[in-house]
Amino acid sequence: MTPKTNPPAPLENLAVPKLDRIDLVTVKLPFVAPFGTSVYVWTDKEALLLRLVSGGVTAWSECVSDPDPFYFYETNGTVRHILTDFLLPLVETGLPLGELWARFRHVRGHGMAKATVENGLLILIALQQGLPLHELLGFPARKIMSGLSIGLKESPAQLLAAVERAVDRGYHRIKMKIKKGQDVEWVRAVRARFPKIRLMVDANGDYAMADLDHLRRLDEFDLMMIEQPLSYNDIYEHSLLQKAVKTPICLDESIHSLADASTALALGACRIINIKQGRVGGLGESIRIARACAERGVGVWSGGMDETGIGRAVNIHLQTAAGFNLPGDTSETSNYFDEDIVEPPVVLDAEGFIAIPPGPGLGVTVVAERILKRAVSWERLA
């Protein structure tokens, strides 16, 4: 059978477009409500945006880092440093992307910074070729499953109200944050009220192996998974924990690359991986990790970093890739912001799915006045 359209050129062969102008813009958007985790409570999203202009086409790319190193070691400050002093000087017109990635490997770590450049170039090329990003990546359109991440609440009653709202909206799965002292009984309350929903918990690394007996108590609630129960830095102890609990473990913070994912799979440290494209260094590495997981029967979903509509759209396009088989942390814009910097906002359809925004690139429009309204710094680099 001949394919309807020519398969896209491998991403490595695409050439870096001539960049006429490069800007770094930091925007700050208030959240509709504070987002609490075991590591920090965020009240707004302060995002570093990379703006690339080439031949009259403008691409925006959002870095997933925060101003602080409480979820991950990279911060908006380190990203700015790595971008301006190391990564952007390596970007050369006409260079095949594969060679650019090879240059980037000389810089150790700093995947969020690398992802910002990679995503920006891919979005720019997709716009120039008139292709939706997912098509440039080589994946057909599909509806994306939805999932909501509910932050730590002040009381079980507030948590139950938030879960009820999410169930009413039709989310495909609900994640609740937990921490030491705010876990088993809070999950029990949600389960008692909603016995059938697809439910999971995320500890953001709050526990240690010394808590094994306590963590085992979560096994009675038929959770889809426990996300990152142990240290942000650990893979090995998660493999011990996974052997000792029935509930699948999902790794988030611990996985920075395909190599980390391969280690986790080889050790049996998890049965599911949360891929955040920024945390693993970009779309290409995300696609490779998802493929490796699919080959091993390990579940994959896309995490989120409370992104603005730019990063949220990237996560939506990524979820067309082979291997993404579980609902992720992709939820409606209204959960985060009264007014986003892109149009249209993410909404759920009647079955709880999210449609890929149609059109070239990300398919969303960055609204210039809203960027200006939210900008806290604007730096022209070239």
Q: Mind telling me the catalytic residues?
A: 177, 276
The minimum distance between CB 214 and ligand OSB, in angstroms, equals 20
Mark the segment that binds ligand OSB (CB under 6 A) among 13-21, 48-56, 210-218, 303-311: 303-311
Residue (229 or 303) nearer to ligand OSB, CB: 303
328 closest CA partner among 281, 272, 255, 257: 272
Residue (62 or 252) nearer to Mg ion, CB: 252
Which among Mg ion, ligand OSB, none contacts residue 74 (Cβ within 5 to 8 A by kind)?
Answer: none
Tokens of 104: 């980037």
CA distance 113 to 109: 9
Which among ligand OSB, Mg ion, none contacts residue 306 (Cβ within 5 to 8 A by kind)?
Answer: ligand OSB
Which among ligand OSB, Mg ion, none contacts residue 329 (Cβ within 5 to 8 A by kind)?
Answer: ligand OSB
CA distance 22 to 59: 10
Residues 51 and 60: beta-carbon distance below 8 Å? yes
- Which amino acid type is present at position 320? T
The minimum distance between CB 274 and Mg ion, in angstroms, equals 6
Contacts of 25 (CB under 8 A, 6+ apart): 48, 49, 51, 371, 375, 377, 378, 379
Size of the site for ligand OSB (CB under 6 A): 11
* Contact positions with ligand OSB (CB under 6 A) in 49-78: 71
The minimum distance between CB 146 and Mg ion, in angstroms, equals 17
Residues 132 and 359: beta-carbon distance below 8 Å? yes
Q: Which of 118, 183, 202, 206 binds ligand OSB (CB under 6 A)?
A: 202
Q: Which of 329, 340, 364, 370 binds ligand OSB (CB under 6 A)?
A: 329
CA distance 260 to 254: 8
Q: What are phi and psi of 28, to 5 degrees?
A: -130, 115
Can residue 204 be called a binding residue for ligand OSB (CB under 6 A)? Answer: yes
Contacts of 59 (CB under 8 A, 6+ apart): 51, 52, 53, 120, 121, 123, 124, 127, 361
Which residue of the chain is nearest Mg ion when measured via CB? 252
Can residue 305 be called a binding residue for ligand OSB (CB under 6 A)? Answer: yes
- Binding residues vs ligand OSB (CB under 6 A): 71, 149, 202, 204, 252, 303-306, 329, 331
